[in-house]
Amino acid sequence: MHDIRAIRENPAAFDEGLRRRGLPPASPEILALDADRRAKIAAAESATADQNRASKDVGAAKARGDDAEFERLRALVAEKKAEIARLTTEAEAQDAALRDMLMRIPNLPHPDVPEGRDEDDNVELRRWGTPRAFDFKPLEHFDIPAVKPGMDFETAAKLSGSRFVVLKGAVIRVHRALAQMMLDTHITDHGLVETWTPVLVKEDAMYGTNQLPKFAEDSYQTTNGWWLVPTSEVTLTNTVAGDILEENQLPIRMTAHTQCFRSEAGSAGKDTTGMLRQHQFEKVEMVSITTPDSSLAEHERMTRCAEAILEKLGLPYRTIVLCTGDMGFGAQKTHDLEVWLPGQNRYREISSVSVCGDFQARRMNARFRPAGGGKPEFVHTLNGSGLAVGRTLIAVLENGQQADGSVDLPAALHPYLGGKTRIAADGTLA
């Protein structure tokens, strides 16, 4: 959410940030609504003062027996009371409209984010690993013989419809091992605190991390008003909602492994085969809560945490910084990690790591008290995938596939699989 005072003080800078995102100016409409709202508040305050004065004079007129003045003042009091009620109601409606308007406008990009229109303008920062040279045509994950017995889309469609999958046997064991390895690495090597959170949340939590109001159609809501989380960013970030933390409590670094739910309303026709884009999936999420002056350094640190998982698995990847036109709604700056998928012969996103500045903190009213004294300030929030478990499974299967239909598994997973090192062509662990 945006600071209305900052928009009042420098509307040109606000509109320039929107221009960099490819959006039209918004400050004239915002400031017009804000000015009208403030004028009604001032008018209500003036009417209240008039009512108070008239109320005092009513008693005096009654005491001296001036019935005409008494009736005039009593009518004035009633008039002012009605005026105050009307102005207050109108100001409250405009305040709600202004809040809704500000909540639907995306975060402004950090100055060092490259300007661009779409994914073609993203900038590659670095690459790690060399894609394997196959002496046969590599298959997509769902066509690999070793995988087919353990990846059942037909049964999932019978149970739930499209974009669901039933995993079993060796494939689900590898999936579970991946999640466990990610958590252990983040806890032991990266100093993140494992956290278990609900997957059903109240509406306020979805507003706090900017899923609402703009992206309601992308998530699922239950009949009693709960929302299914699209990622545990929602719950982890909202653990500090409404809090005033001490500066020495920061940074707070958390990780969680949860089910995630997305309607994928805006992705019709995309990645409809395989399990690349599902309505229900698992992710190991990372969230950091920091002071403003340390959030960019924390962004780099979190990116390295995600990169370390891919390196541990020996999966070639590249890291890119998203341009202004391709960033997510709540981000100031985003790094995407794209893993090499030989079955598609291309890099595909497997993690997004974003710094949001105080954009979410304003929505949640999450602040900290500076160690040197002074008024509480808004914290900065960051989130990132560390990693998407299903997409990591896809990458492991495709990069490890062999000519005989089997799949060699990364050494980092062997301890989590009882020493097993591969999925045989018949779909069993060996």
119 is catalytic: no
Cα–Cα distance for residue pair 310/338, rounded to 1 Å: 10
Cα dist from 12 to 5, 28, 116, 293, whole Å: 13, 10, 20, 24
Structure token digits, residue 135: 């002496």
Cα–Cα distance for residue pair 308/191, rounded to 1 Å: 13
Q: How many residues are given for the chain?
A: 430
Give the residue from 186, 187, 290, 287 showing the smallest Cα distance to 248.
290
Residue in 163, 173, 363, 391 annotated catalytic: 391
Residue in 352, 354, 385, 406 annotated catalytic: 352
Specify burial of residue 361 (Cβ count, 10 A radius: 0-12, 13-18, 19+): buried
Structure token digits, residue 375: 């008024």
* Secondary structure letter of residue 401 according to DSSP: B
- Strand, coil or helix: 159: helix
Residue in 21, 163, 173, 262 annotated catalytic: 262
Residue in 38, 72, 86, 277 annotated catalytic: 277
Cα–Cα distance for residue pair 372/370, rounded to 1 Å: 5
Integer-rounded Cα radius of gyration of the chain: 28
Cα–Cα distance for residue pair 421/411, rounded to 1 Å: 7
Task: Tell me if 205 sits within 8 A of 92, measured CB to CB.
Answer: no
Return left, alpha or beta for 271; rule: phi > 0 is left, psi -120 to 50 is alpha, else beta. left
Residue in 69, 203, 311, 349 annotated catalytic: 349
Residue by residue, DSSP assigns 221-250 as: E-TTS-EE-SSTHHHHHHTTTT-EEEGGGP
352 is catalytic: yes
Cα dist from 348 to 151, 259, 335, whole Å: 20, 21, 13
Backbone φ, ψ for residue 216 (5° rounding): -60, -35
Cα dist from 129 to 132, 315, 347, whole Å: 9, 7, 12
User: Across the chain, which distance is largest between two alpha carbons, in Å?
Assistant: 109
277 is catalytic: yes
Positions marked active-site: 262, 277, 349, 352, 391
